[in-house]
Chains A and B, each alone.
Chain A
Amino acid sequence: MTTHLVGLGVLVVVGAVYPLVFPGALTIAIAVLLFAGWATAWDVLGGWNGQVSLGHASFVGLGAYVVAIGASHGIAPWWALPLAAVAAAVLAYGWGWTTFRLRGPYFSLSTIAVAEILRLIAINEGWLTGGATGVFIATLPEPFGIDLFSRTAQFYLALAFAAGVIATVIVVSRIRFGYQLRAVREDEEAAMAAGLDPTGVKLRAFMLSAALTAVGGGLYGMVLAFIEPHVIFSLLLSVQIALTSIIGGRGTVWGPAVGALILVGAGEAFRTTFAQANLLIYGVLILAVVLFVPRGIVGELVRRHVRRRYARRAQS
């Protein structure tokens, strides 16, 4: 627990000074923070609760569109973001209510199908989303004279988002709900025998995960200032979010954030150094992690640490 709080403190302090040290590399840092937040939010359902979703781009898209449509109707982001969270939770409730009778890979497949249908709706229903050509976010209000389009402001918002999601997970991992999540993940029948309602637990995890993801989606919309449904609802984004979490280490507090730092960082490094081969190298990297650190990077470190502690205890 204290380690996690120290980690959170480090994140906030490092984050606070980052724009002063690297004022010319904020976009990439925002991307790391958003992916850290999304992957951590994904992990509430995918890691702690063991339900692998490949449709989380739907919530990113939902968040971005609520902010964009809100902005065009004069609704400020500080109202639009909570609204997006609520809308995402409602969507997740309906989505989970219909598909949580499925388990394992079947559930994962169903999330792809639902997300693809939502993508088609976003593209085809122009009255709702502005259609396939996308929408601009042209104006945002300026609270206390802060330009919400400036990268510095967006960086701090993304930092608050990532830190907030990680803090939420730290809390969740300690409270009763967190133990329920893990109980359902490990053995649904046993959890049921112990008086838990597995579907109810999964639904709550999905709603929390979706709401947090949508907040990040809203911020992403502000960063892009122009959103196109093909891109923001794409299966590739869903897969990236899941990959980030799994490579970092599922069911750990810091794994998804570490995954975001590595994957987004690697993507940027390869983009600037290897140009055309960068996605190829990305694929090789994923393969390498799966083969050599199958628990994810943080998951592997935690396992070694725990082993060493047991070994020390056994000696003394």
Chain B
Amino acid sequence: MRSSFAAVVAAAVMALAAPAPATAQIEVGVINSLSGNFAAFGERYRTGLQVALDEINAKGGIKGQPLTLSIQDDRSDAQSALAAAEAFAGKGVPVVIGSYASSITGPLAQFLTRRKVPLIVLGSADDSITKPGSPWVFRAKHTSTIVATAYFDYFDHLKATDKSVPLESVAMIYGNGAWPSSLGKVGKQLAAARGYKIVGDQAYDQGVTDFRPILNRFRAANPDILYIVSYAEDGVAITRQMREVGLGAKVIAIDTSAALPSFVQQVGPSAEYVATAVSWSRDVKYPGAGDLYERLKAKAGGEPSFYEAEGYLALMVAADALGRADPKSRESVRDALAATDITTPVTTVNFKSSDGVQGQNPIRSLILQIQDGRHVTVFPADLAAQPPRHPTPAWSAR
């Protein structure tokens, strides 16, 4: 037992120390959470990366050379991600893509910047990664500020289009994790700046499953808008308990959890009218979105979400830059990334720096609403498939 174990460790050490063989292919490093707490997301990102990889290689790879991915699991843990990043930095990969959680991506961004390796953010949406950011870090997907702004633009839009429904007060619930609390923080600033009255503002610890005390408090305040930011599983419990305590509002927005296909399935008819922000949807009016949906669906073997699309987007951005650069030079890849200007079926991408933000794509977040058991893009108007259903009726009237 012990000796075979030592052999495994020794083999691993040798593998780390051995120089990479020279081949006529371009290898992109991927650091993704395939086990541990974030494995569900990591699996979705991997599907998207694979779809992009198939597409790139079917079109002849990068300048005639096939593209390959070296995917490393970070065990949902920063220390493992850093070990993988160190291996990639030493191996000479031209660009690294990773990871999901900000607690992992933050240290990755710091480390790869110091080692001068370009990083394309895969999943983390924390503002601080691109603000102040670094010349080596690029993110094509959204940030908390972009998403929170999309919600409040949507509220403003509803208020302006249907003046008979007053939208004046907002109540907020958010988890205390990095993403929900930053979305809560930006949401509070936006509500104040745009003249909404905050009548409820409550945080909760992840793992709590009883939201009734918070929801009962809100019921007494009778808000026009409910702004809820929760992890996947919490959103299901919140929606069920909202109906149970009879807390309704004219607009109900639930971030992250309501965007997952499983939300509709698990919450059932109570999910109707709920709005949620995403970076991509199958019916968004970008060319090729429907085709991408079919490919993601085939690869995932189930209903894809925006996570798969973000994985696809990250690799498409990498491939585009590699095609315009010398893949042997990281500076050249970095410069090519900085000059990115493409349109993909997910979104348009360019990394313009402004307001102390660098390497961030000003992506337009979409608002989806659940209509007749399907996620439908309802905002912004020029990308929408259907108009929003507004206002949300009271629970008793459903």
**Is chain B in direct contact with chain A in the complex (CB below 8 A)?**
yes
B62 at the interface (CB under 8 A from A): no
> Which A-chain residue is minimally distant from B87 (CB atoms)?
A24
Proximity string of chain B (66-101) to chain A, C-beta cutoff 8 Å, 1 when within and 0 when not: 000000111100111011111101110000000000
| Cβ-defined contact, A225 with B1, below 8 A | no
Proximity string of chain A (49-73) to chain B, C-beta cutoff 8 Å, 1 when within and 0 when not: 0000000000000000000000000
Work out how many contacts link A and B, with CB atoms closer than 8 A: 138
Hey, which chain B residues are within 8 Å of A149, CB to CB? 110, 114
Given contacts A134-B106, A269-B8, contact A27 B181 (CB under 8 A): no
Hey, which chain A residues are within 8 Å of B237, CB to CB? none
- B277 CB, nearest partner CB in chain A, Å: 18
Which of B33-41, B289-297, B333-341, B358-366 interfaces with chain A? B33-41
| Cβ-defined contact, A131 with B181, below 8 A | yes
| Cβ-defined contact, A27 with B13, below 8 A | no
| Cβ-defined contact, B75 with A231, below 8 A | no
| Cβ-defined contact, A230 with B178, below 8 A | yes
| Cβ-defined contact, B78 with A231, below 8 A | yes
Hey, which chain B residues are within 8 Å of A268, CB to CB? 12, 80, 83
| Cβ-defined contact, B86 with A27, below 8 A | yes
Chain A positions 112-131 with a Cβ under 8 Å from a chain B Cβ = 120, 123-124, 131
| Cβ-defined contact, B9 with A266, below 8 A | yes
Which of A103-111, A200-208, A276-284, A303-311 interfaces with chain B? A276-284
Binding site secondary structure of chain B: helix
A98 at the interface (CB under 8 A from B): no
Binding site secondary structure of chain A: helix
> Which A-chain residue is minimally distant from B182 (CB atoms)?
A133
Given contacts A25-B87, A272-B12, A273-B8, contact A133 B1 (CB under 8 A): no
B165 at the interface (CB under 8 A from A): no
A288 at the interface (CB under 8 A from B): yes
Our pick among B15, B75, B128 for the contact of A133 (Cβ within 8 Å) is B128
- B31 CB, nearest partner CB in chain A, Å: 11
Given contacts A25-B86, A136-B106, A262-B5, contact A31 B111 (CB under 8 A): no
Chain B: interface residue total (CB-CB under 8 A): 52
Chain A positions 267-298 with a Cβ under 8 Å from a chain B Cβ = 267-269, 271-273, 275-279, 288, 292, 297
Hey, which chain A residues are within 8 Å of B110, CB to CB? 136, 149, 224-226
| Cβ-defined contact, B16 with A28, below 8 A | yes
- Bound-state CA distance A273–B9 (Å) is 11
Given contacts A22-B13, A271-B75, contact A133 B102 (CB under 8 A): yes
A151 at the interface (CB under 8 A from B): yes
Our pick among A25, A230, A277 for the contact of B35 (Cβ within 8 Å) is A277
Chain B positions 238-268 with a Cβ under 8 Å from a chain A Cβ = none
A239 at the interface (CB under 8 A from B): no
Hey, which chain A residues are within 8 Å of B78, CB to CB? 224, 226, 231
Hey, which chain B residues are within 8 Å of A131, CB to CB? 181, 185
- Bound-state CA distance A131–B114 (Å) is 26
Q: Can you pick out 7 interface pairs between chain A and chain B where the beta carbons lie within 8 Å of each other?
A: A28-B86, A132-B182, A134-B102, A134-B106, A230-B206, A262-B5, A272-B12
Interface residues of A (CB under 8 A from B): 21-28, 31, 120, 123-124, 131-134, 136, 149-151, 223-226, 228, 230-231, 262, 265-269, 271-273, 275-279, 288, 292, 297
